[in-house]
Structure 1
């Protein structure tokens, strides 16, 4: 019958467990709790019993915390163990009383032997309770234990030692003969392993053969793992690169970040106007969503809301976590939509190739590994001015600054704090900043 309850097949969440804890403190029954959470009462019962927190020592209950005898308050026995002839100490204060006394009877509470199985909501707990062994239900502790169990149950190898040894007797000799895992799995379907699983077991050292025995794997470098990408896939709805291509835009803005050395947290937020080839960079103290929005708000304040809309109408960027809140970036201070943000496909930086090319010129002045801690926005503006003063073949020998002066206007360039650099003074080497800092 429980399978007909809507939502009964879902795991309990932290919010559900907090509700269970609060209701237990109020004395609500499992049946009423389950009714509200759309669960079976046995689910609540198992949850409480499995994750209840033991507190066998409670301060103030008794001077001997290890004595659980129901007679400990009135017992006057001495030398119950018979080990010491002249012993004037009461047995109730001895740590071995419960193990040696024949009249020992453990004190029990009906609340712990049956529902609700915990001391939550017990009126004696507030005043004074003589039970030394207590149980309580804590939502956050229970949720942490549940997560640990869920993670542990899905880790490791789902094979016995005998099964693993049996598969190893087939796989390892064939690998030593030069066969690939794909060839072995294809010729031996009785292994019931995928090629990816064989590689994983070899990498973990579970077989006699090792990675060094594979002819080609030792030549490959470890694959880079990008752990800074947006995890919430809902932000990509109607914002993918395919959606961007349907607009058929001739002019748009590309956006990205340039990171400093590993021991520095400062980052550069960069823009590139595809039509004018204009490059912009702004210094951020942290590479976070809030820092990016702060730059957007600052630019909107300089340009005005409608000036910002006309300049940054469409923005194409990558899937970095710093761009994980597009709605906050698209919405201005007055609640007006100031831009439209779209995302490139994963691992496809070439889809915003103009900005990547501008980054190569930026790295001529700030090589990889350079710390940005010493940089100021004035230094960044100086680098940007030198990059924008280089003539481009795609612009017919004109500079991005001169083209942007015609299309965007002088007021916009002044808001960006840009100025032209004389042709013979353009310098794209680290000396540009080193001698001016």
Structure 2
């Protein structure tokens, strides 16, 4: 397979670059995380960073703020004392101003790197290489015996290939082997029904559901999606956590309160037996206890959720009893789950373990320990959008303190071949 360091950057990789810049990581550190050459990261940032602020000073002299002659004609680049302003963070590494503590105080030219805007500028077409592979019957059988238990655990073909670089096949070729019964003919019973992506595509039948829009209530004032957009424009570096609930029986439970840390693509689930607004507040306080007040303030600056009745205690969520601000809570528009699409996507993985229309208690979801198990396996799953990384590895690289707190609390990193996204995980 082609070595990653020579591939073009994807949107997910650019998002990791943006997160790295915001955390003050060096270009070398970001390159190591992505498996890219340092020059690739340097060129990417330099080529796609955008000026977000033009200097308010007439000249870019580092002495200007304290210069006695700054209001005289002598103030120019020809001044003998002129020293061109330079900033290590902006001009060297990481190469942009995202996340800089002095951003709002700085009066010189400022540049920001945006993954989405950089990706929009990227117009080159990628060339997909097709690799043909010849194999003996024994080699095919050996490969089939390797991947069969991993498929049974709910792992995708892509995840298996990333965990086993010794398999010299492309994802497309391995799909063809399965679809053409190559493994079946070699004596290994692997069929299309073992493919999680194909099963989902063939069995999915969306039914029209009628919704009754909820009436706006007072708790929504200043917390709508429009308010969220305005807040983020003023605070572009604010860390966002999306929140929701997953359940099958709305009357009897159990319920999973889900949190998705967008900076790290990291999932945390809180177990509940009831789905009241008080329960959801307790879940947020529980998360704050795990992280500690200071880290919570830093990593949960914004909570974004839907307009479910369980999330109405906005004031209690935002403000602590001592009057200090805990976070800011915003709500999606009615019937607009795509406004927290990142969390909705990870819910698909949760549903691999907790299918709809089954008794989740009978399935084994009966404690916070089981909720931790779900979070651990999903966070240990190789994801294509993370450039073959796991959410655990991304979190550990960018925020080791936060990773250690979750690990100390009870989450664990699961070895690649033991990652299971099937209901029997909870037995």
Q: TM-score, normalised by structure 1?
A: 0.46
Q: Could you tell me the TM-score, scaled by structure 2's length?
A: 0.47
Structure with larger Rg? 1
Larger relative contact order, structure 1 or 2 (CA cutoff 8 Å, min sep 6): 2
